Chain A
Amino acid sequence: MQVSMTMNGEEITREIEPRVLLVHFIRENLGLTGTHWGCDTSNCGTCVVLMDGQPVKSCTVLAAMADGHDVRTVEGLATAGVLDPIQQGFMEEHGLQCGFCTPGMMLTARALLDANPHPNDTEIREAISGQICRCTGYATIVRSVLWAAEHPAELVTIDEEVGA
Chain B
Amino acid sequence: MQIPAPFDYARATGVDDAIALLDRHGPESRIIAGGHSLLPMMKLRLARPEWLIDINDLYELDFLLVDKDKLRIGALTRHTALLESDDIARLFPIITDAEHVIADPVVRNRGTIGGSLCQADPAEDLSTVCDVLGAVAVVRGPNGDRMLTMSEFHRGPYETALAQNEILCELQFAIRPRTSSAYEKVERRVGDWAVAAAGASVTLAADGTIEEAAVGLTAIGLDGTVPDIDSTTRGQKPSEELFAEAGRLASLACDPVADQRGPIDYKRHLADELTRRVLRRASERAAQTQEG
Q: Which residues of A contact B (CB under 8 A)?
A: 1, 17-21, 24, 40-43, 45, 48, 54-57, 60-62, 64-65, 67, 108, 126-127, 129-131
Contact = CB atoms under 8 A, between A and B. Distances in A.
A21 to B, nearest CB: 7
B85 to A, nearest CB: 16
A62 B110 contact: no
A64 B54 contact: yes
Contacts of A61: 35, 39, 110
Contact of B9 (A1, A54, A129): A1
A86 B105 CA distance: 19
Given A60-B36, A62-B9, A130 B3 contact: no
A55 B6 contact: no
A108 B106 contact: yes
A40 B103 contact: no
Nearest to A54: B109
Interface string B1-45: 111111111010000000000000000000010011001100100
- Secondary structure call for the B interface: loop
Given A18-B52, A19-B4, A56 B110 contact: yes
B191 interface: yes
Contacts of B52: 18, 62
B289 interface: no
Nearest to A37: B1
Given A40-B43, A54-B109, A65 B56 contact: yes
Given A19-B7, A61-B110, A64-B9, A126 B54 contact: no
16 contacts: A17-B6, A18-B8, A20-B3, A21-B39, A40-B1, A40-B2, A42-B40, A45-B104, A54-B109, A55-B105, A55-B109, A57-B36, A60-B36, A61-B35, A62-B9, A130-B106
Contacts of B5: 19
Contacts of A20: 3
Contacts of A65: 32, 35, 54, 56
Contacts of A64: 9, 54
Contacts of A60: 35-36, 39-40, 107, 110
A19 B6 contact: yes
Contact of B105 (A17, A43, A127): A127
